[in-house]
Structure 1
């Protein structure tokens, strides 16, 4: 449908992807031997959230290609995971301050692109840091959220400069619980995605969180091919290669449409051929 079933190659080992999420099951077969660094931002005495979420997202990005059902989109890339989520009673949450610390750490790790499969209310400090980071060349991609079509926008996805990603199924139909609105930029596969689970297992999962890695991986490939690309230039290429869904042009459900795993197009090329490599 989008070219994501093609061979997963083309990202050099010196490119680092940042992931701000939960902790990760580093012993999972899909993640063993990967260039994976995990840093916790929890305070003393806090209980870490279960590692389910980031284990799934990390394996989608850099899963061992020798694990055929869990091979990552860019397995040669490095990944730096900032574990910011804690468990409190029945809830899992984090703070804007932790997100800011995580972004700063990832900048220090020389990450070129950050995957934010998370969302929450607006925060002025986080907005300022996101603006500064994107103006300095960091590509940030975030989930639009799973609260439902009538709910308010989620942040950081709705901040200017952040690529906001929604989820569709294999037939291009929107994930029913996805947030909608003017902030939505692009759609990617995110329904019934086969993902890694802690303890060595795997299973199906759905949500906008699982769509973001598809766009993150494509951004990483393009940055590897053209390191001088600015976030704005990369966005223009994503727009040029997207397949329109819904009403013509940009719309509040699909944004500019379904991202396609195409080679990096030159500026001004509206519709390059689909070619290389998935959630």
Structure 2
């Protein structure tokens, strides 16, 4: 069964959001707290691309398209979990990730609320897991193939980018043959796959799937000072790092939350992939990843490190790198092997086995928006 990764909790509310009298200011506060906008150089990148025409599949707990920041952005896909989910626990993590990818904000000039990296892109919601706190999780079968089915569905239904803020757990960290085959299938169909590197970097630092599958862009997290977060997994298949600490996201139908984790970082890089794909629709998945890895800053002296990968993601530099790449011949759908000091980044060989998924960043602190006393994760 798919699971959400062990969360990193930030025990702070966004200022003013919890106060009912300040509900009109909630969106303004949420936007002000999006420190990643400057780090990723999004205002400059948006002059070239906002992700128009690109569909990003979000394989997660479901996405609530009724959130004001996601209105008109969400295409509802299938629920592959086999479980309805408990009331109040549906789609929170997925909605959070979708807002970081394609949030459009709201209000005058859409100047309030969460704006995503690719605000003109569409999100295809494919539910492959339940929320961490959902009591139905224990009744759901373990070791299911929801993720593999979700990857294939996304590739067959027009997703040019597939975002997976998920990770391997429950004692099965080897990956699975079904999922690896699905990854190869999606890349062969032209999809760019992005996944979170994992949140146990300061503990076991285990190999994390789907991030470790060859061809997937694996993303770690940095804090406001652009230092690698302690929880971010360090591995030789890491591609890049992106903001993943104190991140404000949409929640439920009308709330906002703040949290830490590589989930957020992966969603942002999926957004950058959408920007590149929109500007250069003929680039292969290999070359989209190359553009993202070439277009980084704070690159390690050796060109690569297990902590930073190829450096801190930068949307503007990625678009410029894509401009330089043009439309070279594709090296084929499976481009995982190679030295970690080269581009694209290496991917270690995958050992087939059982995988139960665990997704990142689920323990959140809830901030209410438009409705007093709303509960969320």
Comparing both structures, which one devotes a greater share of its residues to helix?
2
Long gaps (5+) in structure 2:
1-38, 327-377
Say if 2:63 and 2:92, in contact at 8 Å, map to a contact too. yes
Distance 1:26 1:118 in 2: 21
Match of 2:247 in 1: 193
Deviation at 1:110, TM superposition (A): 0.7
Match of 1:272 in 2: none
Match of 1:171 in 2: 225
Q: Quick one: structure 1 residues 12 and 24, their matched pair in 2 at CA, closer, same or farther if it must change by over 3 Å?
A: closer
Deviation at 1:104, TM superposition (A): 1.8
Deviation at 1:96, TM superposition (A): 5.0
Match of 2:335 in 1: none
Match of 2:344 in 1: none
Is it true that 1:27 corresponds to 2:69 in the alignment? no
Task: Tell me the C-alpha RMSD between the 2 structures.
Answer: 2.4
Say if 1:168 and 1:188, in contact at 8 Å, map to a contact too. yes
Distance 1:143 1:83 in 2: 17
Match of 1:118 in 2: 166
1:121-171 per-position Cα deviation (integer Å, ceiling 9, x unaligned): 311111122122213321100000102244211011011100000010121
Match of 1:182 in 2: 236
Deviation at 1:98, TM superposition (A): 0.5
Match of 1:84 in 2: 128
Is it true that 1:254 corresponds to 2:308 in the alignment? yes
Match of 2:20 in 1: none
Distance 1:77 1:90 in 2: 31
Of residues 147, 153, 163, the one that matches 2:207 is 153
Long gaps (5+) in structure 1:
269-279
Of residues 292, 302, 325, the one that matches 1:267 is 325
Is it true that 1:107 corresponds to 2:155 in the alignment? yes
Q: Quick one: structure 1 residues 152 and 77, their matched pair in 2 at CA, closer, same or farther if it must change by over 3 Å?
A: same
Q: Which has the higher contact order (CA 8 A, sep 6+)?
A: 2
Deviation at 1:11, TM superposition (A): 3.6
Say if 1:16 and 1:113, in contact at 8 Å, map to a contact too. yes
Match of 1:59 in 2: 99
**Which stretch of the first structure deviates more once superposed, 110-119 or 70-79?**
70-79
Match of 2:41 in 1: 3
Distance 1:254 1:45 in 2: 38
Distance 2:304 2:142 in 1: 32
Distance 1:200 1:112 in 2: 28
TM-score normalized by the length of structure 2? 0.65
Match of 1:14 in 2: 53
Deviation at 1:197, TM superposition (A): 1.4
Deviation at 1:181, TM superposition (A): 1.3
TM-score normalized by the length of structure 1? 0.87
Deviation at 1:44, TM superposition (A): 5.5
Deviation at 1:221, TM superposition (A): 1.1
Deviation at 1:24, TM superposition (A): 2.1
| Matched residues, number | 268
Say if 1:225 and 1:264, in contact at 8 Å, map to a contact too. no
